[in-house]
């Protein structure tokens, strides 16, 4: 790609409006609900697929559109997650059972119990 090197990041023009401007146009509740769902999807996509987090998540780094699209900008601060951390977070985020059960509490609190090991692994420090 032209204009890209080890020290240069090529960028694309992203459409959308910052949160204050977007909300000033009084979007419908349906659109706000869709955007809220997309924010959760964006978070899970970062953690579970990319295995990294945009580590500067203030509202100035999000652009919102009228079709419920979200653009995430300014990747100057990114936290890469270890495979062990991602596996641990996946086990908690996608826990298949009742969240009121003790096994879930063991995963969430990172308690290493014999019965909990099949559902969760402790995150590794990277």
Domain boundaries, the chain: 19-80, 82-126
pLDDT, residue 20, reads 94
* Angle at 38 (CA atoms; ends 76, 23), nearest 5 degrees: 85
Spatial CA neighbour of 18 closest among 66, 61, 74: 61
Q: How far apart are alpha carbons 67 and 60 in whole angstroms?
A: 19
- Distance from chain centroid for Cα 13: 22
pLDDT, residue 78, reads 84
Q: Tell me the C-alpha to C-alpha distance, in Å, between residue 30 and each of 18, 54, 115.
A: 19, 26, 42
pLDDT, residue 99, reads 66
User: How many C-alpha atoms does 52 have within 13 Å on its Cβ side?
Assistant: 9
Contact 49, 89 (CB under 8 A): no
Spatial CA neighbour of 47 closest among 74, 76, 87, 75: 87
Q: Tell me the C-alpha to C-alpha distance, in Å, between residue 68 and each of 19, 27, 108.
A: 12, 10, 32
**In a structure prediction context, what are the per-residue pLDDT tens digits for the chain, which is 126 residues long?**
555 566 656 677 788 999 999 999 999 999 999 999 999 999 889 988 989 888 888 888 899 999 999 988 877 788 888 888 888 888 777 766 676 767 667 766 654 433 334 444 444 444
pLDDT, residue 12, reads 77
């Amino acid at each position: 790609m032209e204009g890209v090197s080890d020290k240069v990041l090529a960028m694309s023009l992203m459409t959308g409006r910052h949160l204050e401007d977007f909300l000033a146009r009084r979007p419908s509740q349906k659109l706000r609900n869709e955007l809220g769902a997309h924010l959760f999807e964006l978070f899970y996509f970062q953690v579970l697929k990319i295995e990294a987090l945009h580590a500067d998540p203030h509202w100035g780094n999000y652009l919102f559109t009228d079709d419920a699209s979200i653009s995430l900008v300014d990747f100057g601060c990114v936290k890469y997650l270890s495979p062990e951390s991602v596996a641990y977070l996946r086990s908690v985020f996608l826990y298949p059972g009742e969240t009121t059960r003790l096994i879930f509490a063991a995963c969430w609190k990172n308690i290493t119990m014999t019965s909990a090991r099949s559902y969760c692994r402790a995150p590794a420090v990277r």
